[in-house]
Amino acid sequence: MKHRGWRAVAAALTLGLLCSQVTINAAAAPAPLTMTDCRFSTATPDASLVNAWHLQRLNMDTVWPMATGKGIKVAVIDTGINTVGSPYLSDTITGDDGATRRRITAVDLMDGPRPDDNDGMLECDHGTLVTSLLAAGRQRDGSPWSNRTNFAGIAPDVEVIAYRTLTVVADGEEQREGDPLSATIEAVRLATAEGVDIINLSQTVVEDPALKEYEAAIADAIEQGIVVVAAAGNAGAVRDRAYPAAFPGVISVGSSTQGDAGAQSSALVGNNVTIGAPGENVVGLRSSQAIDAAAVSNQAFELKGTGTSFATPIVSGVVALLLEYERRHGVDLSPAEVKERLVATADPPGHQVPDLRLGAGIVNPLRALLNLKRDPQVEPTEVASPPATVAPAPTPTEQALPVAALAIGVGSVIVVLLGVVAAIAIPAARRSSAS
């Protein structure tokens, strides 16, 4: 366990190092991403919207009164993202200096669209979906923006800097031929110099001449106290180890189904997977049309997001909650301590540990925040857990209870007590029903 003072010193030293490197030209700051150049989808009809099952599976309504990611900064290194026209992604925050800035920003490290993109527009759906699963916001009272779906990001108050380093993502997270790995390496270096807390990489590469340089950049980030979370890869795209997930110190993420099994789309990479998270048919956001005033009626949703790309930001979101929660208690966890906490508090898979697709099991935000380690004496069974029950989407008259309405003193005690009971009882019930 470490305290925060060293982070500022480390970031300053890293910035000095980066200024001397050829790969990053300090005289030319990366250009902001022009989000109006993104392709977009039309608004999703209300009748098509459903609740996000992964929020219910992870018991987020109980977790959010404890932490929302406030004060934590995450780098998302992906395709372009589009926040324009979306109330979920276009809110602002106030810094320590009193200045107001956008909570989610993006820079472009690529030179326009791919040459074969005949419409001249940028691919932004993958990056937008990843960012939304991590960081999509809620209304000021804590209720969801839409009364037709409970959707929000796992860490709805986290700050995001998105780096566009991919023109498109093929086969889930496979690095597209023609996209230089150098852009992703540069983004890792920039994020390290920026002093982010977490780097999310929902992309993979199997072979590349620049892998050694990539590994060095990731190692430097981890050395500076940054938690790196990466997709383990999808079946068909990854047959062995994929990077950066297989680099030392990285949290490698597989995907799970509503039945708590390893998703068939998740690659079988064995001990390369650290932990699993929901990653099949998850609800998130797509790039929406640019309008003057962001509105839910303009929002395009993704209702069947599938792949370890989308399980990864869920784990990054949980890490953001954990870092915020511990820092409020005077503790700054190292990347190794974060990884150890997630593994020790995961819901064990239905088969052996580590599971080929889920590693130590499915991430459990409540247990992670409260540091409730699972009983090592309880062995997983050979029977899969029962499917999660998904409640219907709320009617227009239904609204979530505003978090602000909780009494600070009594409410906090009740939430923690309920969290402890749920964190212990729910996995125990699953084990019982599986035996």
270 to each of 8, 181, 254, 367, how far by Cα in Å? Answer: 37, 25, 10, 24
Q: 225 or 265: whose pLDDT is higher?
A: 225
Look at phi and psi of residue 237 and say left if phi exceeds 0, alpha if psi is from -120 to 50, else beta: alpha
Residue 111 has, within 13 A of its CA and on its CB side, a CA count of 5
Beta bridge partners of 256: 262, 278
The confidence score (pLDDT) of residue 293 equals 75
Q: Report whether pLDDT(200) > 50.
A: yes
- pLDDT tens, residue by residue, 34-84: 999 999 999 999 999 999 999 999 999 999 999 999 999 999 999 999 999
- Distance CA(435)–CA(145), nearest Å, equals 40
327 to each of 44, 67, 72, 247, how far by Cα in Å? Answer: 39, 11, 10, 27
Percent of the chain with pLDDT over 70: 74
- Distance CA(122)–CA(114), nearest Å, equals 8
In the chain, what are the helix, strand and coil shares in percent, each to the nearest 5?
A: 35, 15, 50
Q: Report whether pLDDT(4) > 60.
A: no
Burial class (CB in 10 A: 0-12, 13-18, 19+), 53: buried
Query: Which stretches within 239-334 are classed as H helix?
Result: 308-328
Q: Are 301 and 149 in contact (CB under 8 A)?
A: yes
Tokens 């004060």, residue located: 71
Q: Report whether pLDDT(395) > 80.
A: no
pLDDT tier, 265 (very low <50, low <70, confident <90, very high otherwise):
confident
| Residue from 215, 217, 222, 221 nearest 249 by CA | 222
| Residue from 180, 71, 128 nearest 302 by CA | 128
Q: Report whether pLDDT(141) > 80.
A: yes
The confidence score (pLDDT) of residue 429 equals 42
Token digits of residue 136: 């999509």
Look at phi and psi of residue 359 and say left if phi exceeds 0, alpha if psi is from -120 to 50, else beta: left
Count other Cβ atoms within 10 Å, centred on residue 27.
5
- Distance CA(315)–CA(323), nearest Å, equals 12
Question: Strand, helix or coil at 69?
Answer: coil
- pLDDT tens, residue by residue, 268-308: 665 589 999 999 999 999 999 988 778 899 999 999 999 99
- Distance CA(365)–CA(322), nearest Å, equals 8
- Distance CA(140)–CA(160), nearest Å, equals 18
Burial class (CB in 10 A: 0-12, 13-18, 19+), 190: buried
CA angle at 227 for the pair 225 and 229, rounded to the nearest 5°: 160
Q: Report whether pLDDT(17) > 90.
A: no
Q: Residue 231: phi, psi to the nearest 5?
A: -70, 135
The confidence score (pLDDT) of residue 2 equals 43
